[in-house]
């Protein structure tokens, strides 16, 4: 993307620096603190963001998740890959060392994972591929087409919690009056995404936008 290196909020009372929510470059941090460390500290240490950490106490499930959009990489030998694999090894030790097993009681499918996919601003996850980042892992990548399956993999909800999530997904397409997305933005999404469920939502948003314009 040909984005200017620095962008600020257009609200004159705010004017703070903006970052991309998705498809950030390797030089964008999700926090001021991380950005300053990245900009100023020496490059002999890795300073990375991790997108998500999941801890479900009731199931002793601990997962660190790094998301990558199409075109983003997690190269072997990079600082980010090295740290994530180190963290994966630590969690594996906690799951297998006898004294750590007793102390932490982590669920066996805890770990560090990369999720490849292309979530977008119409608020859809889209298909996702999940890869275990433990060095030497023989786990096959998981493939999910339906976003509810991806979301349920993330945190392993109970059945009643899944039903609540499914309701939230169905409700998601409803937008308050006067908040429809610009028609040009929605048209751009129609060009990018081909999943029938996504197109149905975008078509509804386009209808709202055209109704507001009329």
Mean pLDDT of 186-206: 61
- Which of 106, 116, 32 lies closest to 68 in space, CA to CA? 116
Task: Please check the confidence at residue 193 and state whether its pLDDT lies above 60.
Answer: no
Collect all residues with Cβ–Cβ distance below 8 Å to 159 and sequence separation of at least 6: none
Strand blocks (E) in the chain: 52-56, 61-68, 111-117, 128-132, 142-144
For the chain, the structural domain boundaries read 1-47, 50-172, 173-214
Contact 154, 54 (CB under 8 A): yes
Q: Please give the pLDDT value at position 174.
A: 54
**Token pair listed for 194:** 């081909």
User: Of 101, 114, 112, which is closest to residue 60 (Cα–Cα)?
Assistant: 101
From residue 59, alpha-carbon distances to 90, 127, 211 in Å are 19, 26, 47
Give the bridge partners for 131, in sequence order: 114
For 151, list phi and psi in degrees, rounded to 5.
-65, -35
Closest CA to 64 of 75, 51, 76, 74: 51
Placement of tokens 């392993």 in the chain: 156
SS3 213: helix
Cα 28 from Cα 18, distance rounded (Å): 10
Q: What's the pLDDT tens digit per position in 8-64?
A: 777 878 877 777 666 666 677 777 888 888 888 998 888 888 999 999 999 999 999
| Gap between the Cα atoms of 190 and 198, Å rounded | 9
Decide which of 91 and 126 is more confident. 91
pTM exceeding the 0.75 threshold for the entire prediction: no
Give the residue carrying structure tokens 């751009």. Answer: 188
């Amino acid at each position: 993307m040909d984005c200017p290196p620095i962008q600020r909020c257009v609200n004159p009372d705010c004017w703070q620096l903006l970052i991309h929510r998705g498809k950030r470059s390797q030089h964008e941090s999700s926090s001021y603190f991380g950005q300053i460390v990245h900009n100023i500290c020496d490059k002999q240490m890795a300073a990375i963001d991790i997108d998500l950490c999941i801890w479900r106490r009731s199931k002793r499930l601990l997962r660190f998740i790094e998301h990558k959009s199409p075109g983003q990489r997690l190269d072997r030998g990079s600082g980010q890959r090295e740290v994530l694999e180190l963290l994966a090894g630590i969690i594996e030790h906690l799951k297998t060392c006898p004294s750590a097993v007793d102390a932490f009681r982590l669920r066996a499918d805890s770990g560090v994972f990369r999720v490849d996919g292309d979530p977008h601003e119409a608020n859809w996850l889209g298909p996702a591929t999940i890869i275990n980042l433990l060095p030497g892992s023989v786990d096959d990548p998981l493939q999910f087409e339906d976003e509810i399956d991806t979301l349920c993999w993330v945190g392993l909800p109970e059945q009643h919690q899944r039903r609540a999530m499914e309701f939230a997904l169905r409700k998601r397409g409803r937008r308050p009056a006067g908040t429809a997305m610009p028609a040009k933005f929605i048209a751009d999404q129609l060009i990018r995404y081909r999943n029938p469920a996504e197109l149905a939502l975008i078509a509804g948003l386009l209808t709202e936008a055209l109704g507001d314009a009329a």
